[in-house]
Structure 1
Amino acid sequence: MTDPAPGAVMRGAVDLSALRNRPASPAAAPDAGEPAGAVASLVMDVTDATFPQALELSRTVPVVVDLWAEWCGPCKQLSPILEKVVLELEGRVVLAKVDVDANPQLSQAFRAQSIPMVVALIAGQPVPLFTGAVPEQQVREVFAQLLQVASQNGVSGRLEVAGGDESAEEAGEPPLPPLHAEAYDAIEAGDYPRAIAAYEKALVENPRDADARAGLGQVRLLDRIQGADLQAARAAAAADPTGIEAQFAVADLDVAGGHVEDAFGRLLDLFAALPSDERGPVRERLLELFGVVGDADPRVVAARGRLASLLF
């Protein structure tokens, strides 16, 4: 599913010229009196309008671009890992977070056909890192390679955070409930079965724990797609149109890759094609994936409507 490959710069592969030439927002510039090489934060939200600032920063340090969306479950698992590793590198890397739904020009420029998608900028040039959620150890390995590539291209600076250490802000955050913390640690270690067990135990203790329910759906998805091959899964699904497990495999990969409507359409078509007494597992998988994407998402609303019409 993922293919970390920071070994070569994608010269010409992504057209950033229109974004590069746009004047940066004045609000993005450092305040007067701040030390040279200072930024407000090592983790920043970047928009179509403020992207030139990220390009400029990439001449000093590598800028890691995290292309994500609110509805994307794997994005929510990956983003905290990226933020943690970036902060630990203490100014040698900056993380630029791009909401692809709110910033269509950047999404198009980076050719974000599936998310989460992670790309780096070195001296204004894009470097492909990986697509999809990966465990923390793999993120660390990719970032180590990225720093080597950046150094080879003359980008080896370090930025300061204006106003002090960002960890002070984090110190004020309330601690996670113990089982949630256990699940989070397990996800970072790539131990999805342990994370699933922790979330399931949290739901036994409190069936109304919405965060645990959402986390459980997301980590189950990550566990199922680990090591999966999309082309092989599609071939198996094409050969067995009413095979539940074959169709599940492609739907999972589609949701993880951001192709939510394709996934829901596939499962709803399967639901319609099956006898009534065989539909239960498909309905359960749909409901789980609805939770991963988010109940308020318009694609979930539309899919729920079609599911209701098929049921009644």
Structure 2
Amino acid sequence: MTDPRQSQSIFTRGAVDLGALAARNTAAAQRPAPSDTPATPAGANVIEVTEATFQADVIERSLTVPVVIDFYVAGSAPDLQFSPLLVKLATESAGAWVLARVDVETSPRLAQMFRIQNIPFIVAIVGGQPVDAFNQALPEPHLRQWIDAVLKAAGVEVEQPEDPRMLAADDAMAEGDLEAAEAAYRKILDETPGDIVAESGLAQVGLLRRTDGVDIAGALGAAQAAPDDVAAQLLAADVEVLTGEADQAYARLVALIRRTAGDDRETVRKHLVSLFTVAGPDDPAVAKARRALASALF
């Protein structure tokens, strides 16, 4: 598992022997914590961890629930700007995972064990072992993706909450404000490249723009009268997708690809792929049409 921004993993710098650390801390964990050590509330989603409490609060706890460690320096920029985001997501998780905060200045042995060179440094512990880490402040969408991947690796069923950015984009398109919808979908893709839903939404905006004010019957009739007119066939395919006849649209363009060459063929291919994006990759009709497209091209 890697994080969404492909930041450096702890595994590229040697394994972390948590077992050795646990053994070394067993006696310390059994001693009462100093009076200035923050208490560890039972069942809390956000806890402060020290060298003395690391075994119980992180290693043992991770046997039943994923633990994400936030190594920080009190009052530093990451502590003030990034750590609150982790706290927010941990609080929202309703116990699906626990955030363990470790001040590297007061717990230097933990920092040494994890070979921490800079902060923020975030590591996920599952089943008593580190499974992934990153060492840079991530935007909230990427952080959510990383946490979801950690939970899935731990066998936790992840319920995807509704994305308010997507809801706003969909609302704009439903209201016919294509400019606002396009801007919203592009913003999502800037923040979360490859988001399939946003790509589909953006493709739908393009489809609606191309078919705005088009006479459906007239477009289909023009395509029937001129089977080799590329522009007419593309518009007819758009109309068919818009009216729920996507299978027919795909077949139309695959057949046109078989009859064209050069730039015309590439234009048709790109248009067909854009229509696939409208439906999304999981649509059975898209899978079937992709096979037909591959056959027509090769």
Report TM bin, short chain: 0.3 to 0.5
Pick 1 or 2: higher relative contact order, CA cutoff 8 A, min separation 6. Answer: 1
Q: Which has the higher helix share?
A: 2
Please say which structure displays the higher CA radius of gyration.
Answer: 2
TM-score (norm 2): 0.43
